[in-house]
Each structure stands twice: as C-alpha cells, then as structure tokens.
Structure 1
C-alpha cells in the first residue's frame, strides 16, 4: 500500500513515502516550509524520489493535533487537497500517539508531552498493547508544567518535545525516552496509519479538521474582553 505521511505539528516537520508501512523516503521540513503552499513542492519531490505518480497514492496520513496552529492547518489542508485530487483515502492521527510510538520496545505506562506554551504542556498517557503499539489511556489534556511533573509516577516513562523544558524537573525514578525520539516523525505516522487503516480506520476528507485542543491567544483575549 502506498502512503504519504505529513507531520507538520511542531517547529519543524517531515514528509514520508511509505510502502506497506515501510519507509521509502523521508524529508525534513523547516519552519519556513510549513505552509500549504510551500508543502506542495516538497510533496512533489517526495513523489519523484519514490517514483510514484500522485494517483498511485492510496492513503494520506496526517497529524491532526495537538501542535502549532499554523503547522496543523497547513498539514491538514494539504492532506485534504491531495486526497481529494487523487482519490486517496485520508487518516488523521493524534500527534502525541505518534510520539509515544517512537519509543522502541516500550514497557509499562508512558506519557507523551508537547510544549503548549504559557507554562503548560499537552499530555496523553499510553500503554503498549499486545502488538507493542501504544494505546491511549488518558485523552489529550492541557496541564500546567508543575502539574505534569506531579503526575509522573515511579517506573513510568515520559517522552516528547515538552521535555525540552521539563527534563530538569523529572524525578530520578521516572524513565525518560531517548532525545532522538522526542520529535514526531512522518515515518512513524505512516507506520501507525498503515496498521490503523488495515483495521478499518479512516477519515472523511470533508469532515477532517485540525484538533487544536485550545483557543488561540487572540481568541482567548477576545473572550476575556481584551480585544474588540
């Protein structure tokens, strides 16, 4: 099965071409490349490197959130446009699930965290199923940094880009995922998407939308009466 995976949730990102869940080619994206317009030439380059015609792609996978507003909009918009134009199926996956899946041979419960700014993190708790794939135990939530540290129990593992600011406060009895696995990768997204698609999961291209999990700073100021 030919899969294009778009991961644009953070300050950087990546696009991958996957064949039956195996990586064929992946390229990194800079912050400047994470707009719907700039993703198009990178996607074209990926297709060329994989030696695929656009219509040969059967599934487009995308991280739907949490993450940056701009990055998520660009990724989801690009996935929808490509799927509509080619007739490919589309499948969205939670960004924290992708991060959790990057911990190899994970055992026990683990937390995946991303920086949500304002001294907060996006966080979800997972445990590996029989096949080793992480299953979400607690849904994505926004926690104050201190509250997140307080939730970490002895023997649990924590991973993700949110550790860039939390690491110094993580108790010694809590395991920390390797730093090279903190950033979500398109290849991991594609691998998860292949397994989920085979189990019957997919999204409606017309209904697909980013999941921000919070209002933008401007929206919050408006709600507070600070903007008119």
Structure 2
C-alpha cells in the first residue's frame, strides 16, 4: 500500500511517503511555510519512493491536537488529495502517534503513557494512552484541557510521560523524582509515524470519510471563546 502522511499539527511539521519497501520523510520548516511547501514536499517524498502523489492508496493526517491553522491546512490538503486520487483517508490522533513512537523507541509497551500537548496559556491537552488490541496497539482515553501545573501534580507515582509539551516543562516534570520521562526523540509526532499508524488503521477498516473529516481542535479558538462570552465555552 502506498501511503502519504501529513503532520502540520505543531511548529515542526513533516510529510512522508511510505510503501511496503520503506519510508521517505522530510520536514516542512517554519509554521508559516507549511501551506506553501506542502504540495512540493509531498511530491518530493513520493518521488523518492519511486511513485507519484496520484498513485497514493491512502492519505493519513494528524488531525489534532495542535495549532488551529496547522491542523486546518493539513486536513484540507489530505482531503483534497483523497478527492483527487480516490485514495482512502485516515485522520490519526497526535496522542496515538506519540504513544506508538514512544513504544517503538523504548521498551514502554506494557503500561500507560501520559501524553501532554501544549495548549498555550499555561495549559495542556492531556490524555493517557493504554496498551490495547487496536490498530497501532494503543487506546487513547478522553483528552482534557488542564493547567500544566495541575496536570503535573496529578500524575501518579511511576507515571511514564512523553509528548510535545515536555519541551517547555520537562524540568518541572523531572522535579518529581517518581516520574519517568521518555527520551526527547519520542516527544513529537512525525509524518513517518503517522503513515505507519494510518496504514494499520486502514488495514483494519478504520478509515474516514473525506467529506466529513475535520480537525480535532479540542477547544474553541480564542476568537470563538471571546465571541461566546464568559461561562459559555465550557472552560
């Protein structure tokens, strides 16, 4: 199966092309360049695998959490490719991508992993991934929006932690000597990892409808919160 994958959820976006013989991946650079570079970058990684974008059987895209603009750009591009090529499409959770990558790069395959994504304003989107008989091997529990300090304080003793929010709060987490941090190489989702997870989902029949797939923002935008007024956003 020929799979294209897109991750524009965070500042360090990437794209990948994967097939039965290997994976080609490249970064997208600064966040403002993602929309401008996506088409050419996807064409490049597909050619490095010896095929073209129009040959894709599947498009996988990280649908959230992450940057509002980045998620919109990534999902819209994935849907456009799926419509143009009749490829199937899978929106994958950034939490699941991090869990799968962490398990692959460590020996953390037998216990839950607590995963934080930076939500800004001193908050994190947090979820727990648990080993499960699901595509990719992990079940992601409900995500919550919580103050970063409160999330750190609530971690149980012995918790295993991996995720992009650690980039700015690793020291605070590490201050608890009963918490285990994953290596930094595990913290951020990548398109290559999303391609692998998307392929497993598709093989299990867990694909999305390009007409209805949406980003998973996990919160209203700041403008939407202001328009809704105090007490109307659930926060």
**Residue by residue, what CA displacement relative to the aligned partner does 1:161-216 show, whole Å, maximum 9, x if unpaired?**
11122222221111101101111111111111111111110000100111111111
Structure 1 residue runs without a partner (length 5+)? none
| TM-score normalised to structure 2 length | 0.89
Report the counterpart of residue 138 of structure 2 in structure 1. Answer: 134
Report the counterpart of residue 5 of structure 2 in structure 1. Answer: 5
1:221 deviates by 1.5
Report the counterpart of residue 209 of structure 1 in structure 2. Answer: 214
Q: Distance in 1 between matches of 2:81 and 2:55?
A: 12
Q: Distance in 2 between matches of 1:82 and 1:133?
A: 27
Asked if 1:181 is matched to 2:206, the reply is no
Report the counterpart of residue 74 of structure 1 in structure 2. Answer: 73
Report the counterpart of residue 89 of structure 1 in structure 2. Answer: 88
* 3-state SS, counterpart of residue 187 of structure 1: helix
**How do 1:58-207 residues align onto structure 2 when only pairs under 5 Å count?**
58-103=57-102, 104=104, 105-106=107-108, 107-129=110-132, 133-136=137-140, 138-170=141-173, 171-207=176-212
Q: Distance in 2 between matches of 1:130 and 1:198?
A: 14
Q: Distance in 2 between matches of 1:23 and 1:134?
A: 23
Structure 2 residue runs without a partner (length 5+)? 231-235
Report the counterpart of residue 18 of structure 1 in structure 2. Answer: 18
1:130 deviates by 5.7
Q: Distance in 1 between matches of 2:194 and 2:53?
A: 19
1:24 deviates by 2.0
* 3-state SS, counterpart of residue 149 of structure 2: helix
Q: Distance in 2 between matches of 1:130 and 1:89?
A: 23
**Residue by residue, what CA displacement relative to the aligned partner does 1:120-167 show, whole Å, maximum 9, x if unpaired?**
00111012236872222x211111112211221112211111112222
**Residue by residue, what CA displacement relative to the aligned partner does 1:89-120 show, whole Å, maximum 9, x if unpaired?**
00001111111111132131111111000110
| TM-score normalised to structure 1 length | 0.92
